[in-house]
């Protein structure tokens, strides 16, 4: 049996699945992270190292704070297209990442896991 030797968790974005004007460079870079993660999974799997990518939806962070504060209508727009009806919080993503680092996730490899509250279904 192959020993479990670790996990790589990369972070992408829901914007690699859907598009909004003004995010082309950011989303393209995150799309590259998703492809890179698949290659890592393939190339490191024989060493017992898994690689996955988590793709959050809109999350309240320092990165998004200025947008949410300057444009309250953005929060309204996001909640209207998110099945769970709210913008995400960092803890909504942290648990997913933590799980992927555990032995319980030992058979999860080369996956894009979207944690977006059901944004843009």
Distance CA 121, CA 114 (A): 12
Q: Specify whether the CB–CB gap between 56 and 94 falls below 8 A.
A: no
C-alpha span between 119 and 121 (Å, rounded): 6
**Strand 49-56 with 112-115, pairing:** parallel
Q: What is the distance between the alpha carbons of residues 86 and 48, in angstroms, rounded to a whole number?
A: 37
Q: Is 23 a catalytic residue?
A: no
- Determine the angle formed by the axes of helices 62-70 and 72-80, rounding to 10 degrees: 100
Tell me which residues are annotated as active site.
26
């Amino acid at each position: 049996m192959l020993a479990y030797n670790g996990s790589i968790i990369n972070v992408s974005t829901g914007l690699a699945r859907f598009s909004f004007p003004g995010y082309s460079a950011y989303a393209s870079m995150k799309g590259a992270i998703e492809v890179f993660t698949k290659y890592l999974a393939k190339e490191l799997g024989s060493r017992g190292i898994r690689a996955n990518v988590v793709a959050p939806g809109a999350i309240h962070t320092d990165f998004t704070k200025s947008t949410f504060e300057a444009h309250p209508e953005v929060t309204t727009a996001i909640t209207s297209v998110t099945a769970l009806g709210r913008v995400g919080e960092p803890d909504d993503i942290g648990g997913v990442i933590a799980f992927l680092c555990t032995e319980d996730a030992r058979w999860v490899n080369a996956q894009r896991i979207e944690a977006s509250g059901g944004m843009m279904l």
